[in-house]
Amino acid sequence: MKRSSLAALVGTLGLAALLAAPAPAFGDDKDDKGQFRARLGGYQETPAISTQANGEFRARLRDNSTIEFELRYANLEGGSPSAAHIHLGQRGVSGGVVAFLCGGGGKANCPAAAAGTVTGTIVAADIQALPAQGIAGPAEFQEVVRALRAGVTYVNVHNATYPNGEIRGQIRRGEGPDDRKGKDRKDDKDD
């Protein structure tokens, strides 16, 4: 009996210590508002593209002034990417480019292959003007962060065969597939 009471006490203390530990912070965020992700596929394009290509985008807001990102893609059927961007637009709607990931806007060329990884940062100077969508340019960095948090941005990978994009993924808050906690999100499915 004493052993089970001791085990219960240790378990309770461990849980209390875990709950008392501070949550990781990203800038001034205390939850996943500073982390973003997207799964990219052809069926998310507008209109949909039948392709085996796929990708994943992850980003993290640092100090409310920098977005660090990683874009991985594979199996592009239309050839090497000419550009990859973040666009302002809700699911199923095309929107303008707010930031380049590669292939323009002061960023390096995209890797010359049907599969690759692009990493980098986005700062205020990288924000593209979209007057028709309410983004005036570099001074609107926080507006872009607000749009990311609202889920109304997407990543698009373009190439010569598919100049409007071969793969696309709506950006959502969270670290990645492991943050789902057993939930299946419709926007992550390619079919």
> What topology is assigned to 25-176 in CATH?
Immunoglobulin-like (2.60.40)
**Whether 156 contacts 168, CB under 8 Å:** yes
Please state the rounded mean pLDDT for residues 17-39.
54
Please state the rounded mean pLDDT for residues 122-132.
97
Please state the rounded mean pLDDT for residues 30-34.
62
Where in the chain are the domains?
25-176
Long-range contacts of 159-163, Cβ-Cβ distance < 8 Å, separation of 24 or more: 159/76, 159/78, 159/79, 159/80, 159/81, 159/82, 160/78, 160/79, 160/82, 161/77, 161/78, 161/79, 162/45, 162/49, 162/51, 162/78, 163/82
**Whether 128 contacts 138, CB under 8 Å:** no
pLDDT above 90: percentage of residues in the chain: 72
pLDDT averaged over every residue in the chain:
82
Comparing 191 with 89, which gets the higher pLDDT? 89
The answer to whether the predicted template modeling score (pTM) of the entire model surpasses 0.85 is no
Q: Write down the pLDDT at residue 175.
A: 72
pLDDT tens track for 92-116 = 999 999 999 999 999 999 999 999 9
Helices (H), the chain: 2-20, 141-150
pLDDT tens track for 148-161 = 999 999 999 999 99
